Copies of this chain bind each other. A is one copy, B any other.
Amino acid sequence: MQKGATLKDVARLAGVSVATVSRVINGHANVSPRTKAAVERAIVKLNYSPNTIARSLVTGRTGIISLIIVQEDPIVPSTWSYELPLVQSIHDYLKAQDWEIQIAMCSYREFQEPGFLHRYLTRNTVDGVLIMAAWMVERHVVSELKTRQLPYVVLGSHDPDYESICIEYDNEGAIRALVQHLRDAGHQVFGHIGGPTHQLHMNQRLQGFLSALEEFGLPTWQRLTKFGDSNVETGYRVMQEFLAGEPRPTAVVCGNDDIAAGAMNAITEKGLRIPEDIAVVGFDDTVVSQVVTPKLTTVRMPLNKAGVLAAQLLMDELSQPNRERKRIVLPCEIVIRASSLS
């Protein structure tokens, strides 16, 4: 905590009142060039810088945005691969506008707890909130924010009533594109290894998978639609199950790249070839998709765009609150690589 000079010190040195100094600092009109210069000299001389706290006390604003990162419980390292790009782009955008960022990480269980957000916001005086979550944002959370009249944006999910400004990815569309791509290559028997379906995006991917099959008139099999944790082990284990029974899928759509990598291990281990015997596709376009053999067809989410957009919308809301609520669904790009090329 710096101590340094105060307004009063500057005022004394410049031979003016604190009010005038304040005016100079905040660039208000009606200060004569002479006094302005004198004050600025004094500021430099004393190496003065305003006390943010005192300023906040009177203005009622802190210049701080709270970034709440809601996570799986226990934490799944693979989610980091898209969390940090988001944090990064949000950070850069907000910094450029002179906002400070305070982060809070919590499990989705904590976040759903009735008192959590309340306690957090009571302890922390922020001007806006950005919620990064893969879970539905519960009603009481929304109402807590609304009653505080605190501008906020939800990134990665939404609330039950679509009352919040939120940004999501078109998971269903992406999966549909993957299925179409695989069908065009002649595949008929599809398997799906998903992540935890309590995560909104994993659920969307599952739904997208099922409805795409239906749309294209392809059969679905209960035993080829499985879920687990979002990791290599799940992919490996479930793929082994797939391979042990009938029908055997010729194309497997996975909830993320790690799962897909696990599935590939199981396939290769069995002496089968990818994609000749079985095609595999992942999701997220992490580095994993580029180092497995063969390289993995996957989906690239517009993370940077999403982060910046979230920050932008929050800024908009901050400057003119209570405008029309909106939901934005960002399209994703499918990246076709060897694992699905026939």
A residues bordering B, Cβ < 8 Å?
1-2, 49, 51-54, 56-57, 60-62, 64, 75, 77-78, 80-81, 83-85, 87-88, 91-92, 95, 98, 100-105, 121-127, 148-150, 232, 258, 261-262, 264-265, 268, 286-288, 290-293
Asked if B61 and A127 make an inter-chain contact with CB atoms under 8 angstroms apart, the answer reads no
CB pair A125–B52 under 8 Å, yes or no, is yes
A102-B101, A127-B1 are known contacts. Are A261 and B51 too (CB-CB below 8 A)?
no
B49–A53 CB distance below 8 A: no
Pick the 7 closest A-B CB pairs, nearest first.
Answer: A261-B291, A80-B84, A49-B122, A53-B56, A53-B57, A102-B102, A91-B105
Cβ–Cβ < 8 Å partners of A1 in chain B: 60-62, 125-127, 148-150
Q: Which residues of chain B are near A60, meaning CB under 8 Å?
A: 1
Taking a contact as CB atoms closer than 8 A, the residue among B91, B102, B126, B292 that contacts A292 in the complex is B292
A332 to chain B, nearest CB (A): 18
Residues of B within 8 A of A149 (CB): 1
B2 x A121 contact (CB < 8 A): yes
In Å, the complex CA distance between A54 and B57 comes to 6
Bound CA–CA A124/B124 (angstroms): 15
With A103-B91, A122-B2, A125-B53 as contacts: A232 and B84 at CB distance below 8 Å: no
Residues of B within 8 A of A102 (CB): 64, 100-103
Residue in B88, B95, B101, B122 whose CB lies within 8 Å of A75: B88
Contacts of A126 in B (CB 8 A): 1
Check if A53 sits within 8 Å of B64, measured CB to CB: no
The distance in angstroms between the C-alpha atoms of A72 and B26, with both chains bound, is 35
A81 to B258, CA, bound (A): 14
Q: Which residues of B contact A291 (CB under 8 A)?
A: 232, 258, 261-262, 264-265, 288, 291-292
Bound together, the chains give a CA A309 to CA B266 distance in angstroms of 39
If A80-B80, A81-B80 touch, whether A290 touches B232 (CB-CB below 8 Å) is: yes
CB pair B125 A51 closer than 8 Å = yes
Given the complex, which residues of B lie within 8 Å of A104, measured CB to CB?
A: 95, 100-101
Besides the known contacts A53-B53, A100-B104, A232-B290, 19 further A-B residue pairs in the complex with CB atoms under 8 A apart: A1-B125, A1-B127, A49-B122, A51-B57, A52-B123, A53-B56, A53-B57, A57-B57, A77-B81, A80-B81, A80-B84, A80-B85, A83-B84, A91-B105, A95-B105, A101-B102, A232-B287, A261-B287, A292-B293
Cross-chain pairs A/B with CB under 8 angstroms, 6 sampled: A53-B56, A53-B57, A87-B103, A232-B291, A258-B287, A291-B291
